Structure 1
Amino acid sequence: MRRLWLALLFIAAWAAPPCAFAQETALKALGRLEGWRENALVGYGVVVGLSGSGDSPRSAVTRQALANVYGRLGAVVSEEDINSRNAAVVVVMAALPASANVGDRISVTVSSTGDARSLAGGVLLMTPLLGPDGQPYALAQGSLVAGGDSFSSQLNLNQRNYPTTARIEGGATIERPVNSHLVGADGRLGFLLFEPSFTTSSRIAEAINAHFGRPLASAVNADEVRIAFDPTSGELAPFVATLENLRIEPDRLQRVVINERSGTVVAGGDVMISSVVVSQGDIRVTITSEQTASHPGFLYGFASELRSLVITNTALEVDRGGDDIVVRFPSSSVADLVQGLSRAGVDTRRIISILQAVRAAGALHADIIVQ
């Protein structure tokens, strides 16, 4: 525990809290306008051209889908006549932008829903992509690019990544225009914050009113600011562009993020710790077992059924840590604490336990988020 002693002495020397400098950022980095969002699209299609790695012939869904494809193309084929592993039934997914015109192209993700082994080398047939309202908004078609492969021979399998999911960059064409309605029925725009904060929403409203010289904005809640739009002042696009580029000083959220799996600790440089006493000690218990055998050799000639006796001797040692310490240090920051412990060689998981204990004691003025 000498390392912890040195670390806390190092922190005591650095007791002065760091100065936090305000940093302004563009309004568009703090949230989004209400109504400006992507929409999910999904479709059901067939991938062909697979080299024996598609769905097995026992898949009734695949046979029915292929029969429907042949029927739309004018060929009459029954499901019983389809016996091939060169096709697979897939689900196609895409994200429809908030604003799109007919002819724009978007990327799609294709995933197998049957027992296909790989989609590598396949081609997606024309698939309509439906929105939440059940209406088609795009058509997807093209050659798949899989991020993996799978090869098998006589029960030997060699697979890299997941070849049952593939991408088609720019593989879907928008067939219906999409326009977002930013102005509500009350003639106002809603700005929604990514991180709710009454301080930030109030600062946004004040900055907008100061820039335009009149009370256009008001903070409705911690995560919403309502902004009035006057059609007589000009077009909507320049008005929104002006709003997006306003410089705002956001509120600093006091958080310490801990990832126990990777042993990562992330905290702002201005997250403070009040005066606190830290006491940490280790109790190490060591158990040593030694087995010995007793051989009754002098009785072997008289009793042939006798066997050796195994005796286990156990030694218990307890190390209570002679270098354990109790140290009081003045107000400091989490950054200084973590930096000092790291320089002293304290492992990350022990730093995490110290931070959690300090937070439970009420000396760490921040939320701890454990991932």
Structure 2
Amino acid sequence: MKIINSLVICALLLCFSTVSHAIRIKDIASLEGVRDNQLVGYGLVVGLNGTGDSDQTKIQIQSVVNMLEKMGITTSVNDIKVKNVAAVMVTATLPPFAKQGNRIDVLVSSLGDAKSIAGGTLIMTPLKGADNQVYAVAQGSVLTNSFAFGGQGASAQKNHPTAGGVPNGALVERELPNALAGKSVLHLNLEISDFTTASRVVAAINEKFKSQVAASRDSGSITLTIPEAYANRTVEFVAALETLEVKPDVQAKVVLNERTGTVVMGENVRISRVAITHGSLSLVIKETPQVSQPAPFSKTGETKVVPRTDLKVEEESRRLMVMPEGASIGDVVRALNLLGVTPRDLISILQAVKAAGALQAELTII
């Protein structure tokens, strides 16, 4: 029943996907230079209930010493033994056009052998970019949505207690340069490169502004010349073009995930005339240990454990299914549903059809 349900769901999705809708340009492309930036920093989480790094991890002890010295407290590594502190790496994503004082989320991950950082507090941690400049400072209570408790004989754990986050835990201290300021020419990059889609985007933009505003550089990039009517009004120009709708073209592709049995197929996938049959061979080997012992009152022989092997081979017989020329992927799913194949069988069948040269699509295995 689960097999039939899986294939029925796949067929329904394919039916719905046959109706293509126009997509906004902002959903399939982005302006060059307008992007996120990664930030990273090293810090300490304090206030843990004995679940911090052990004494074998020296890095957090040295960090505590350095922090106390900055606060005017002189101590040494040998004088400090703490289990309520954990060394952590802090990461964050700085969005484009973030301003000073804006808050961003941060992720906190244990660097040593701490058992849990749940309930701890991240103390002031500078976050740097790839240019080694500080762009934000993080601090706050760590939320993990997990726990880890244990004793000598048993333990219990939920989720991943050595990683968590601080919502809105970082303050932006340095702004990124404005990628659009003072520019008369912009570049629009498609998320998925395609010559047909690029041509349609150019046509839609030029029709909107009634002039040759856009020109394709290649299959994934479009050059935009800001019209004189929008001089010094770059934001309004971008807002006007990103809401335009186009119908993107999609390459015929089949994506297979052999680990999970997932099969994803686009609506443009076609199959040439081919005959398909699929049967499975099942081999079951079962070892059953048995005890062999001599007859009662016998003076010879000894008791031994001997193996007993049961071998069972089953081979299913399936019908032959002939697919007509130019069959759509929906036709294929319905035909394979009649054959009673599982999603994992479907992966093997599609690989064989591609090897036979009948699958008119790119086959990607992940």
Q: Deviations over 1:263-292 (max 9, x none)?
A: 222222342111112244455668899999
CA distance in 2, matches of 1:214, 1:167: 49
1:222 alignment partner, one of 200, 219, 222: 219
Q: Deviations over 1:89-133 (max 9, x none)?
A: 111100001111110000001111111111011111111111111
Shift of 1:314: 8.8
1:194 alignment partner, one of 176, 187, 191: 191
CA distance in 2, matches of 1:320, 1:231: 74
Aligned ranges for residues 352-363 of structure 1 at < 5 Å?
A: 352-363=347-358
SS in 2 for 1:146: coil
Cα 1:95–1:231, aligned 2, differ >3 Å: closer, same or farther?
Answer: farther
Q: Deviations over 1:146-202 (max 9, x none)?
A: 1211112225322222111111000000111224313797x4211111111111111
1:180 match: 178
Tell me which amino acid in the other structure corresponds to 2:137: L
CA distance in 2, matches of 1:309, 1:69: 69
Aligned ranges for residues 249-268 of structure 1 at < 5 Å?
A: 249-268=247-266
Tell me which amino acid in the other structure corresponds to 2:329: V
2:28 alignment partner, one of 13, 27, 30: 30
Tell me which amino acid in the other structure corresponds to 1:88: A
Tell me which amino acid in the other structure corresponds to 1:221: D
CA distance in 1, matches of 2:202, 2:256: 33
Question: Who wins on radius of gyration, i.e. which is larger?
Answer: 1
Runs of 5+ unmatched residues, structure 1: 1-6, 12-16
Cα 1:318–1:146, aligned 2, differ >3 Å: closer, same or farther?
Answer: closer
Aligned ranges for residues 1-371 of structure 1 at < 5 Å?
A: 20-154=18-152, 156-182=154-180, 187-230=184-227, 233-234=230-231, 235-282=233-280, 304-306=299-301, 323-331=317-325, 332-342=327-337, 344-371=339-366
Q: Which has the higher contact order (CA 8 A, sep 6+)?
A: 1
CA contact (8 A) 2:90 2:109 kept: yes
Shift of 1:41: 0.5
- Give the number of aligned pairs: 353
Cα 1:363–1:52, aligned 2, differ >3 Å: closer, same or farther?
Answer: same
CA contact (8 A) 1:148 1:162 kept: yes
CA distance in 2, matches of 1:308, 1:87: 61
Tell me which amino acid in the other structure corresponds to 1:218: A
SS in 2 for 1:145: coil
Aligned-residue identity in percent:
39
Cα 1:274–1:295, aligned 2, differ >3 Å: closer, same or farther?
Answer: same
Between stretches 157-166 and 26-35, larger displacement belongs to 157-166
Tell me which amino acid in the other structure corresponds to 1:171: G
1:14 match: none
* TM-score, normalization by structure 2: 0.85
CA contact (8 A) 2:53 2:114 kept: yes
Alpha-carbon RMSD across the aligned residues, in angstroms, is 3.3
SS in 1 for 2:260: coil
Tell me which amino acid in the other structure corresponds to 1:204: V
CA distance in 1, matches of 2:16, 2:51: 61
Runs of 5+ unmatched residues, structure 2: 1-6
SS in 2 for 1:117: coil
